[in-house]
Amino acid sequence: MTGVVIVGGGHAGYQCADSLRRAGYDGEITLVDGEGHLPYQRPPLSKSHLLNDTGEEALLFRTQSYYDDHNIGLKLGHRITAIHRADKQVELDNSETLGYDKLVLATGAKLRQLDLPGAALNGVGYIKSLDDIRYIQSHLNQTEDAVIIGGGFIALEFASTAAKLGKKVTVLVRGQRILANAVTPELSQYMLDIHHQHGVDIRFGAEVDHIADDGNGNVEAVRLKDGTLLPAQLVLAGIGVTADTELAVEAKLLCHDGVVVDAQCRTNDPDIFAAGDSARYNNPFTGREIRLESVQNAVDQAKVIAQVIAGQDAGYHSVPWFWSDQYDIKLQMVGVHEGYTHFYQRGSQEDDKFSLFFFRDDRLIAIHTVNRPADHMAGRKLITAGVSPTQEQIEDVNFKLNSLVKK
């Protein structure tokens, strides 16, 4: 028998299986994931997971019995190694083959690895998977000094977590500001101040020369190109990811930095779909092809695929949104701020409650909020509906923004 085969059991893969059943699809569903764990959620890994005592079970999307009850076949700990499009089959690393009517690629992204002397030492880690976080956890006790390489969300979330755990934290950033790819200089500066307030040392223009060995294969320090030596028992590299398109490229599906999909999340093979971190699509809000690395994108694309496979009318038009937790700051972003011409601020930075409203000419295109979730929620509706508040409405914190769109 054949049905839907889903490659990857991350946010997109899991969601697709779940949504297929909710949409009434009653064919076979097989979810294959190379990691040997029940599908789990990644965002808490760099945030609350190391601080909570609820353990790994709390990361799971569902328990095993959910998959059994909904007749969703799981093949965990096995990678799919090839797609044979002509035969509509995939091949697993144990040489097993699976036939499919529809194939969903939810392969996510791959970690960018450090390419430095000392990168393989004991105590050098990453945060992408449950195994990664177990590794880090196993090094925490003997860690006093943690050095974090990278200035993006995951690096900074881990900096916040490590600082809360009482570690002395140094963050090494190559460029001149943190979160440079995600937020504007105002917000980078604000977040920098927050990290400073929590005793985290952030070095800009920092180039790592090598990671030094203690003589027993463990990390002892990080040496910068300018000669600085930073003691460290744990080095965390958060230097980004790249779309995992290996299978798709080999199967000669259209790819360029992501598997290219249409508004139904279909690749150039009508029986093969792609969603999540590995998919590139034409974003209606920016008018160009983009690839997003976010839960929202993975979940919403997966839902569209499930509906399309179940024979329903669906298209991917969601406004992108994202969040990050650092200390007691909740950062939320909606829309794409790139190409903005000006912005207005609501609330005040002194109160640690403010939002930046980005406009391209007279159109609201994005909102970045700090501890103002109501602005974020209203923003999702405003941007989706194409409604732009005026400067006065934005700056008046008593004005209810959602009144502009409420039914």
Ligand X SMILES: Cc1cc2nc3c(=O)[nH]c(=O)nc-3n(C[C@H](O)[C@H](O)[C@H](O)COP(=O)(O)OP(=O)(O)OC[C@H]3O[C@@H](n4cnc5c(N)ncnc54)[C@H](O)[C@@H]3O)c2cc1C
Does residue 399 bind other proteins (CB under 8 A)? no
- Please give the residues from 159 up to 218 whose contact with other proteins meets the rule CB under 8 A: none
* DSSP structural state of residue 60: B
Distance CA 206, CA 371 (A): 30
Strand partners, 359: 342, 364
Sheet holding 288-290, edge to edge: 259-261, 279-283, 288-290
Distance CA 182, CA 310 (A): 35
Using an 8 Å Cβ cutoff, are 395 and 401 in contact? no
162/394 with CB nearer ligand X = 162
What does the angle CA 195 – CA 196 – CA 198 come to, to the nearest 5 degrees? 70
Phi and psi dihedrals of 148, rounded to 5? Answer: -115, 125
Among 18, 145, 277, 300, binds ligand X (CB under 6 A): 277
Does residue 296 bind other proteins (CB under 8 A)? yes
CB of 305 to other proteins, least distance (A): 17
Q: What character string, x for contact with other proteins (CB under 8 A) and - otherwise, covers 26-55?
A: ---------------x-xx--xx---xxx-
Among 25, 100, 323, 357, binds ligand X (CB under 6 A): 323
Among 6, 17, 18, 43, binds ligand X (CB under 6 A): 43
CB of 93 to other proteins, least distance (A): 29
Does residue 46 bind ligand X (CB under 6 A)? yes
Using an 8 Å Cβ cutoff, are 366 and 358 in contact? yes
Count other Cβ atoms within 10 Å, centred on residue 190: 17
CB of 369 to other proteins, least distance (A): 10
377 binds, among ligand X, other proteins, none (CB under 5 to 8 A by kind): other proteins
What is the DSSP secondary-structure string of 128-173? SSHHHHHHHHHHHTT-SEEEEE--SHHHHHHHHHHHHTT-EEEEE-
Q: Summarize as ranges the residues that interact with ligand X (CB under 6 A).
A: 7-13, 32-35, 42-43, 45-46, 79-80, 106-109, 127-128, 154, 244, 247, 276-278, 293-296, 298, 322-324
Q: Summarize as ranges the residues that interact with other proteins (CB under 8 A).
A: 41, 43-44, 47-48, 52-54, 57-63, 65-66, 69-70, 295-296, 299, 323, 325, 330, 332, 371-374, 376-378, 381, 402
